[in-house]
Amino acid sequence: MAKARLLIAAGADLTVVVSEAAEDLIALEANQGFRIERRSFRELDVYGMSIVIGATGIDAVDRQIARAAEEYRVPVNIVDRPELSTFIVPSIVDRGPVTVAVSSDGASPVLARRLREKIETLLPANLGRLADFLRSFRSAVKAKIGSFEDRRRFWEEVLDGQIARDVLAGHESRAREAMVSIINRPLSNHNNSPALLGGHVTIVGAGPGDPELLTIKALRALQDADVVIHDRLVGAGILDLARRDAQRIYVGKAMSNHSVPQEGINDLLIAHARAGKRVVRLKGGDPFVFGRGGEELEALRAANVETSIVPGITAATGCAASAGLPLTHRDHASAVTFVTGHGVDGEPDVDWQALAQPRHTAVVYMGLSRAGALAANLIAHGRSPDTPVAIIENGTRKNERVLTGTLSTIPDIVRTARVGAPALIVIGEVAALADAALGHVARAEAQAS
Ligand SMILES: C[S@@+](CC[C@H](N)C(=O)[O-])C[C@H]1O[C@@H](n2cnc3c(N)ncnc32)[C@H](O)[C@@H]1O
């Protein structure tokens, strides 16, 4: 059935000989207009055909098909029977007009399929659209840029740049406008400038630590980057995914130790983009959740630097999943608030009254150093001192610890278990669901006693 569909898509004039046609084949026949002959196989069926595919799964019939094809000198493929076949059908990744074929020469169709699945995840869904888009500009570019070398360089820059990214992201009209404007530039720009298309910054969320929690988009941006400007919170193993020759610049910040001030980071991003580089600004978690990604985006926009954002798994959702702790639950919590334990001037700007409501989960980022004050404020605004609490240290990483207790015991937990950054405090009924079965949940109260 899958082969019939692929052959029709490739423009084949198809005849299917089958004693009993399955429903999906009948539906395909109705839509596509090929022939189904409802009977058993005859040797003359192969006569005059360009290729023959045997898929009966019945040994005697498959052999009969192979013999007939040999006699009439028609290339034949018997599914899963390389010894009876004169050609093999590779697994394909189809992003029309781009096709990638994977073959194990019949040695292991399952292995070929696995590889194909891997390639599927690597290739963007809109790759075919990108190919069509590029094709639509081929003759215009050829007419404009005479030298083969210059043309090759031009296409490479288009593929590496914002235009290709826009098409892949579905912003085709924007990409078309940019392409037309570049093609219409005076010729000297094409020939003399090494950077036809300028640089670009992608602000990428690296997730809470586990490299496998990166999105496919984040991975692609990393592998594409000339320069990676990264934070302290970016987990080990993630930077290794960047190209080996990419320049890595550390601008990490600890709370009281700003290694590069924010303005310095903004300037660095702008300078590298203006030098025509593909820059990845790699930030822990999600760039727009307590990550100052918004400030960086504003600075880049003000400097007219092309910028895109790749979201990441924020610490709250990453840690909650890792600890088996749902942030909302029909029986325990109908709302969740992400809150910082540390405001611009120290004291966080928090609506304690709202946060103290029952059936409400509060996830506190950067809350370790003010854990005691935080608990006291919530209790003062009416939250029960017995409200369950989970503290997740190094969430999703190999050295993750989950400590559970109650609102009144938070300061003891932090002190006794010597909790260190990065850590997240989850307050609310759901914290009692932290998954002890995962094996890494420490009972801080038990430890303390
Ligand atoms: C400056 S904020 C950055 C948050 C980040 N943008 C995000 O979306 O997760 C840093 C705080 O995030 C929390 N955090 C980040 N990664 C964490 C992890 N792997 N485990 C626990 N907490 C984490 C900690 O509360 C830490 O102090």
* Residues in Cβ contact with 30 at an 8 Å cutoff, skipping those fewer than 6 apart: none
Q: For tokens 């950054």, what's the residue?
A: 421
Tell whether 260 is covered by a domain. Answer: yes
- Is residue 79 included in any domain, yes or no? yes
Are β-strands 98-102 and 91-95 bridged in parallel, bridged antiparallel, or unpaired?
A: antiparallel
- Residues 36 and 157 grouped into a single domain: no
Q: Which atom of ligand 1 is nearest to the CA of 312?
A: 8
Taking the centre of ligand 1 as the mean of its atom positions, its distance from the CA of residue 232, in whole angstroms, is 10
How far is residue 422's CA from residue 399's CA, in Å, rounded to a whole number? 11
Q: Per-residue pLDDT tens for 386-404?
A: 999 999 999 999 999 999 9
Q: Is 77 in the pocket of ligand 1 (CB under 6 A)?
A: no
How many structural domains comprise the chain?
Answer: 4
Q: Is residue 307 located within the same domain as residue 246?
A: yes
Structure tokens at 387: 């409200």
Average pLDDT over residues 284-312: 94
What residues contact 361, with CB distance under 8 A and at least 6 apart? 327, 328, 333, 335, 336, 337, 426, 427, 428, 429, 430, 431
Hey, which of 234, 424, 425, 427 would you mutate to test ligand 1's pocket, going by the most ligand atoms within 8 Å of its Cβ?
Answer: 424
Span of 48-52, 106-110, 268-272, 335-339 with lowest mean pLDDT: 106-110
| 57-80: average pLDDT | 94
251 DSSP assignment: -
The domain that contains 34 carries what CATH number? 3.40.50.720
The proportion of the chain whose per-residue pLDDT surpasses 70, expressed as a percent, equals 92
| Whether the predicted pLDDT of 214 surpasses 80 | yes
Query: Could you identify the atom of ligand 1 that is nearest to the CA of residue 400?
Result: 20
- Do both 342 and 302 map to the same domain? no
**Selected catalytic residue, list 160, 253, 267, 435:** 253
The H or E element spanning position 298 is: helix 293-302
Mean pLDDT of 269-278: 89
- Across residues 373-384, what is the average pLDDT? 94
- Strands (DSSP E) found in 20-114: 35-37, 52-54, 76-78, 91-95, 98-102
**In this structure, are 300 and 384 located in the same domain?**
no
3-state SS, residue 320:
helix
Q: What is the pLDDT of residues 141-190, one digit of tens each?
A: 998 888 887 788 788 888 878 899 899 999 999 999 989 988 887 764 43
CA dihedral 297, 302, 303, 307 (to 10 degrees): 30
Give the range of the structural domain holding residue 180, as residue numbers without chain letter.
Answer: 127-192
pLDDT, the chain, mean: 88
> For position 448, what pLDDT does the model report?
43
Whether 231 is catalytic: yes
Please report whether residue 109 resides in a domain.
no
Take atom 5 of ligand 1 and give the residue whose Cα is closest. 285
Q: Which of 31, 36, 33 is nearest to 15 (CA)?
A: 36
Q: How confident is the model at residue 445 (pLDDT cuts 50, 70, 90)?
A: very low
User: Are both 261 and 320 inside the same structural domain?
Assistant: no
165, part of any domain: yes
Q: Looking at ligand 1, which residue's alpha carbon is closest to its atom 10?
A: 366
Q: Which of 258, 288, 289, 290 to mutate to test the pocket of ligand 1 (most atoms within 8 A of CB)?
A: 290
* Residue at 39 is within a domain: yes
Of 348, 382, 386, 385, residue with least CA distance to 367: 348
Q: Alpha-carbon distance 117 to 125, whole Å? A: 13
Atom of ligand 1 nearest to the CA of 397: 19
Amino acid residing at 14: L
Last residue of a domain, one of 137, 163, 192: 192
